[in-house]
Amino acid sequence: MKSITSRFQAIDLVLENDPLLLVCAGGGVFLFLVVIVLLRVIKKSKLKLKDLKAKGYYQETPKDEVRGKKASFKIGVQLKRKKLIFTKYSRTMTLENFWQDKNFLEHIYGQKIVDMKSIKRFLRQPKIIIYFEDFPANYTEEDIKTPERGEFHVGITGTGEEQNQDIRDESVLGVFGQKSSGKSNAINSCITSFYKNSYHTKHFDLILFDFKLNDFIHHKKTIKNCSIFDTSDLEQFKRGVEYLERKLLEWTEYKRSVLEKGVQVQNFLDFDDPTNPKPMHLFIVIDEASQFLSNRSVKAPGSKASQKEKDNYERFLTERRLVGLVDFIMDTQRYMGNFLILGSQSSRAGDYAIRFTNIKSILLSRDTKAQSLNLTGDSNLLLDRSLYKGKFIYVGNGKLTKVMTPFIKTPFKPPGEE
Ligand SMILES: Nc1ncnc2c1ncn2[C@@H]1O[C@H](COP(=O)(O)OP(=O)(O)O)[C@@H](O)[C@H]1O
Ligand SMILES: [Mg+2]
């Protein structure tokens, strides 16, 4: 006890006598901490540089040669927030060099790379900035902004950019994925964002086909021009197909009347003639599409057939009429400013009676290696484990982008499900 007290006293004495020593001690501790932090940083970045070196990206260059002509390239690596920044010391190194080894870089950093940009500044070394995937934890319908005329919001990308679709570019969007992958939610968010634009509210008739309806019935309350058909009910299904047929015919006739006047039209969405008002544009949704666009065939029932067999045949004929209409929409309606969203569990062309390969804009959730290669040209893309509950690969305008669709809180449940 005694000795401890006396030691403290001794320290007190020294400090009292020599304030310089106090500063030195403080500075020493500070320096020590700085060195530890630095060592950690160096250790981390060294490991990464070593990996890059193995790949030939990073080469130590003797200092005296850096300014010489023979100097090989060297890059600096910096991790800032979720961005990885490479500083190039060579003007010949291109962005493509990095893209080619995207898989390798993803492996080193254990994160998905979603974008790379090269930034050149006057009198500074060019930099390559690599963006890692970073989706918001909570992305809902409240985050959807009002889209421009003809557009709807598909989702947000891993770098926080909005991915929209213009219905003047394609006439159909396919949404494919396993059960509970978020297809119906994705379709709902497309509808919700589309109808935020007041021009769309006024000029677009929403025509919905769904098996059992639960996912879409709430639009009836919020969208004025909305017709919903439950395809599990044969009479409703037939009525829906007839309705759609009539609406499409209106457009064919309208187009003829405009052409007869000798008027040139790029797209009827941007066209308005007060002397000859156009019909309502169409926003058509078919969910559970493989249920009624499937590649089955049913024989005509004989005279002794049961009612069930007759109904089954009747349903089959109705399906075939819808198949014809879907093909017609894909071929002709882009120019009319009409649009179709097709949701389905199956992403195999052979499962459909429609001309499936005409679908150029697609939202895809997790799928097999074969389907990934088939649909995206990359056999690994759809193996991504995070592609579920609202995360999809969006194929559009020849580009592949991973997106997250907004979560739609369904405000209305059908009777009996409260
Ligand atoms: N964007 C999203 N964000 C969060 N959860 C989602 C999202 N989309 C879907 N989900 C969840 O996944 C479940 C299934 O979605 P749903 O659209 O019904 O799938 P599918 O139509 O593919 O069967 C929903 O009940 C919801 O909880
Ligand atoms: Mg669904």
> Residue 363's domain is classified under what CATH number?
3.40.50.300
CA separation for the pair 83, 93 (Å, rounded):
20
Q: Which domain holds residue 279?
A: 141-404
CA separation for the pair 121, 111 (Å, rounded):
28
**Same domain for 174 and 102:** no
Q: Whose CA is nearest to atom 24 of ligand 1?
A: 182
Ligand nearest to the CA of 210: 2
The residue among 132, 167, 185 that closes a domain is: 132
Number of domains in the chain: 3
Q: Which residues contact 175 (CB under 8 A, 6 or more apart)?
A: 183, 186, 187, 341, 342, 343, 344, 362, 363, 392
Ligand nearest to the CA of 175: 1
Strand partners, 119: 127
- Residue 338 CA, ligand 2 centroid: distance in Å: 23
**Same domain for 216 and 124:** no
- Residue 363 CA, ligand 1 centroid: distance in Å: 14
**Same domain for 272 and 191:** yes
- Residue 276 CA, ligand 1 centroid: distance in Å: 43
According to the model, what pLDDT value does residue 359 have?
A: 94
According to the model, what pLDDT value does residue 232 have?
A: 93
CA separation for the pair 174, 208 (Å, rounded):
15
Question: In testing the pocket of ligand 1, which one of 156, 178, 180, 386 has its CB within 8 Å of the most ligand atoms?
Answer: 180
**Same domain for 33 and 167:** no
Residue numbers of the chain with a pLDDT score lower than 50: 1-2, 13, 61-74, 417-418
225, part of any domain:
yes
**Same domain for 77 and 216:** no
According to the model, what pLDDT value does residue 130 have?
A: 76
415, part of any domain:
no
- Residue 408 CA, ligand 1 centroid: distance in Å: 9
Ligand nearest to the CA of 288: 2
**Same domain for 378 and 314:** yes
**Same domain for 181 and 109:** no
Q: Is 177 exposed, middle or buried (0-12, 13-18, 19+ CB in 10 A)?
A: buried
Ligand 1, CB within 6 Å, residue ranges = 177, 179-185, 389-390, 405, 407
According to the model, what pLDDT value does residue 67 have?
A: 38
| Cβ atoms 342, 289 nearer than 8 A | yes
- Strand-by-strand arrangement of the 127-132 sheet: 75-80, 83-88, 127-132, 113-119
Question: Quick one: which atom of ligand 1 is closest to the CA of 177?
Answer: 22
Question: Quick one: which atom of ligand 1 is closest to the CA of 189?
Answer: 1
According to the model, what pLDDT value does residue 299 have?
A: 92
